[in-house]
Structure formats: C-alpha cells, structure tokens
Amino acid sequence: MKILLVCAGGLSSSIVMKKVRRYGEEIGEEVVIDAVGVAEVSDVWNKYDCILTAPQVRNRFNQIKETAGIPVAAMPPQDYAIGNAANIVKLAKSLIK
Amino acid sequence: MNKLVESKLMKWLEKVSVALSESPTFSTIASGMQGNLGFIMVGAVIQVGLAIANMVFGLPTTNEWYIRINSIYNTTMGLLSLMVTFNIAFNYAKRLGMKGHNVHGFTAIVCYILVCAPITTYTLADGSTVTAINTQFLGATGLFVAIIIGLLSVRISKFCIDHHWVITMPDSVPEGVLNSFNNIIPILVNILVWYGLSTALSVLTNGQLTIPTLIIFVLSIPLNALLSPIGMLVIIIFGQLLWFFGIHGTSVVFSVMMLPMIMAYQTNASLYEAGQPLLFSYVFLWGANAMWGGSGNTLPLVLMGLRSKSKTIKAVSKAALPAGIFNINEPAVFGYPIMYNPLFLIPYVFGPVIVYFFYWAAYAFELIALPRILILTTLPIFMSHFSSTLSITNVIFAVLMFPVVWLTWYPFFKMYEKKMVAEEEAAEAE
C-alpha cells in the first residue's frame, strides 16, 4: 500500500507520516507513505495508490482530485491532529480496496 | 458567538479563499515563487556566513574575499526575477496544457531581458567598449514585472497557437522538427509585443519611463495601501479567520505577501551591505501572528493543556507540543480543536492583534533590530526570532511577549477545560 499525504508545505503531514510508518512496522504490514506540499502533487502522485489530504488544504481538495488519477480522501481533523495512524491506514484501505 | 461563526460573512470569507487558491493564475504565481525557495535559502546562508565573519571576526565588507563570496548572493537573490519569470511561464504553460513548457519559460526570459535589462554596449572613459546588461531589475525589485511578463507571454503564445499562427510544413517533416518550427511565430509575436511596447514607451516619454518603472509605479498604489498599519491588521485577521475555518490561512495570504516581503528584506540586505541604516516596512509586523507555536500563537495554549484535568485536552496537548516547538500549529488547531470552536475565536483571531501593537511599538521605539535575512521556511521558536536579524534583542522581545500571549489564551482555556471536564464526567457516569 502506497499512501501520499498532502498538506500545505509538507511539514505538518510529515509528523503524521512518521507515526503511520511506525504503526506499519508495529502491525507488520508494508506501508509506504510520503508527505508533500500541494504544489508537488502533480509531479509525484502516479507513484502512489491513494492520496490523503490534510484538513488545512481543504480549499485545494478539488484541484488535487482533478490533477491526480488515484483515489483522494480528506483526513478527519481529529485523526490528523494527534496522528491517529490506525484510523488513517483504515481510511487508506477503504479507498484502495 | 455561535451565530457569528455561522454568519453569512464567515461563509463568504471561506468561499473567497477557496476561489482565490483554486484560480490557475493565483496558484501558478504561488508555485512559480516556491520553485525558487532553494536559491533564496542559499542566498540567506551566504548572508548569515558573511554577517558572522563581519561581526565576530571583523572581516571588512571591502575585503576581497568578502566581495568574492558575496557575489554568490548577487547571483542567487540578485537574479531572482529572472528565475521567477521562467518558473511562472513554465508552470503556467503546464497548467494550461500547452506543449513544450521549457520553450515558454525561455520565451518569457528573453522578453524580460529585452524589456528590463536590454543588452547594451557602453563606451568607457578610456575609449574601450563593454557590452553589458544592467542588473537593476534582475533581483527582487523586478518581481512584479517578472510575474506579469511570465503570465502574459504564455497567454500571447497560447493566442498564437490557438489561432493556428504557425508555419505549416509538409506532412513528411518529422514531428520533432515540426515542433521547433511551431514556436517561431509565438516567440516572434512575443518579442514584437514586449519590445514594441517598451520602445514606444521610451520614445513617447523621452526615455523617462520604462515598462518596469511604469508597472512598479502603478502597483505601488494598492501596495502602499496594503503595507500600512490597517492593511497589515486586515491581513493578519484575514489569515487567522481562515485558519479558524481550518484552512491554511498563512499559505493563502502568503501568495500576496511574499513579494513585498522579499523586496523589503532585499532592500535591507543591500542597505546593510552599504553600511546604511535599515528601513522599516509594515510587512515586518506580519510576524506578530506566529511568534509562539505557529499561526495564532498556539504554544501557550498547548503548554497550559499539558497538566489539564481533562483527559482529551491533555492527550491533544502532548501530541501538539513537539510540533508547536517547531512552530507547526496544525495538531493544536485540529486537535483541541480551535477550528470552528466559538470559545477560541477571540483569542485565536485577536490575540495576534494585541501582539501586533506591541511589535509595532517595539519597532517604532527602536527596541528591536530590523530584519534583513530572509529565511522562508518554518523554523523552531527562538531560531525564527533570531535568524532574520541575528540580534538577541528580538529573541528577548519574543520571550517578553510570551506572558502576553499566555494571558490572551488563559480565560478561554479555563472555560473550555471546564466544559470538557463536565462532558468527560458525564460520559463516564453513563
């Protein structure tokens, strides 16, 4: 499973990214996850299975959906805030199926 | 307070920001600028290095090695507008789905140099000649011109292509050769338009006006309104309101503020270089909203929450602390949550306004140093206060602001904590 996290500049999403990576190791599943800023999405999306967007780039959500040819979903603010890796992985799985 | 949050004005503000950040032109400008951050950072590193060499080791600015190293700064920050011209044209062509993005980038650069820095042969005092370009508008001064030429030159090319103003070739000509021929007319039309305008303007005004001076003059009118005490207040409040809706307000506002910001910093960098006093710009007051823990100064709130009686608040604060120290506020905004939380509207949006007035006073009474080194990235607290000025007084000022920010949050934190504790107890009793 390859997840791309998107926030404004790739800073706050990198905190969530680390937590999901650690979670992936704990449950023994291969989770590839990277974090980028909105501007980079168009260059990298094709290497991933799905995109999860941070709440603060809600205003760019439609634009991201248009550029990327893979499933896109927004992370719930609460899960994003504390980096709830279990919920985030669950959300990603529901997108890919 | 609930009514205000759901009012029409708030809904409208939210809509405006979405429309603003989704427009192709606007996002092209933002991404075109962001593509140069690396060069700006290299320029800043050179500046810091030279400033330390100058202050700590007493290396004079006239020293041969100082000048040599400084030329790296002059060829990174000093060529910023050229890079922006290319990046904007490149990104815009890509956004509009045109073929060969590079060609459009270079077309824009050619037009920019023709208009802002034409290659001219000068005769020196000893009779010898030198062919040179004037670098006056190649740095941050020309940024507005760079954006306009970057965007419009692509539009002109697109117009030519859409109207089939291309040289037609027999079918037997290979595709690759055909593409290079296809660009001839758009490039020519661009040159005719830009150089024609520039020459006409120069002839009509007897060389008094050029395209860059005209554009800079016209844009200085709205810009001066923005870079005023009220303009900056509006910017700060607008950015905070967007954050309150959970939208990255800084990135929306930054697309507008980036240019005046870079210009003010570069002005001060060159004044410092020349040993002259630095200039104040209202754009420097923008930092008032991100002194402690990112936009909205959320770090004190996070610290309060660490020992809260409410389990939710405590858990969120623990998760938000490391990010807060690095001036990243998202965990606090979405976790507490501050977004759409009527209780926090006042301290979150107007807390920075209080800091703004202190900040303004500190600059006005010359208690703190004026910034001159531009580091356009999120830095941890203290580092962010120190890096732009290399002055310890600015760090001391930020430390003094901590109790102020703390007090703006405290009563609202107490109210929220009480509410959360009551809710948690009710949930446990069930």
Summarize pLDDT for B370-421 with one digit per residue, the tens: 999 888 777 888 888 888 888 999 999 999 999 999 999 999 999 999 999 9
Instruction: Find tokens 């980038």 and name the residue.
Output: B105
Q: Which domain holds residue A91?
A: 2-96
For chain A, what is the domain count? Answer: 1
Average pLDDT over residues A77-90: 91
Per-residue confidence (pLDDT) for residue B194, from 0 to 100: 95
CA A55, CA B337: separation in Å to the nearest integer? Answer: 12
| A64 shares contact with chain B (CB less than 8 Å) | no
- Judge whether residue B172 has pLDDT over 70: yes
CA B320, CA A82: separation in Å to the nearest integer? Answer: 7
Please report, for the domain that includes residue A84, its CATH number.
3.40.50.2300
What's the pTM? Answer: 0.76
- Judge whether residue B105 has pLDDT over 90: yes
Per-residue confidence (pLDDT) for residue B2, from 0 to 100: 61
Per-residue confidence (pLDDT) for residue B21, from 0 to 100: 66
Mutate to test the interface with A, among B248, B250, B258 (most CBs of A within 10 A): B248
pLDDT mean across residues, chain B: 87
Amino acid at B71: S
Rounded to a whole number, what is the distance in Å from the CA of A26 to chain B's nearest CA? Answer: 19
Per-residue confidence (pLDDT) for residue B366, from 0 to 100: 92
Count other Cβ atoms within 10 Å, centred on residue B338.
25
Eight-state DSSP code of residue B121? E
Percent helix, strand, coil in chain B, to 5, is 70, 0, 25
| A90 shares contact with chain B (CB less than 8 Å) | no
CA B24, CA B144: separation in Å to the nearest integer? Answer: 17
For B7, residues 6+ apart whose C-beta sits below 8 A from its C-beta are none
- Judge whether residue B23 has pLDDT over 80: no
- Judge whether residue B4 has pLDDT over 70: no
Active site residue A50: no
- Judge whether residue B311 has pLDDT over 80: yes
**What are the phi and psi torsion angles at A5 (to 5°)?**
-95, 140
What is the percentage of chain A residues whose pLDDT exceeds 70?
Answer: 100
Give the up-direction half-sphere exposure of residue B234: CA atoms within 13 A in the CB hemisphere. 10
ipTM comes to 0.72
CA B111, CA B140: separation in Å to the nearest integer? Answer: 17
**pLDDT band for position B130 (cuts 50, 70, 90):** very high
Contacts 24+ apart (CB under 8 A), B288-291: B288/B236, B288/B352, B288/B353, B288/B355, B288/B356, B288/B358, B288/B359, B289/B236, B289/B239, B289/B240, B289/B352, B289/B355, B289/B356, B290/B250, B290/B327, B290/B384, B291/B355, B291/B385, B291/B398, B291/B401, B291/B405
pLDDT mean across residues, chain A: 90
What tens digit of pLDDT does each residue of B280-297 get?
A: 999 999 888 888 988 999
Q: Which residue of B has its CA nearest to A67?
A: B95
Give the up-direction half-sphere exposure of residue B63: CA atoms within 13 A in the CB hemisphere. 12
| A86 shares contact with chain B (CB less than 8 Å) | no
Q: B49-58, B304-313, B358-367 — which is least confidently predicted? A: B49-58
Eight-state DSSP code of residue A9? B
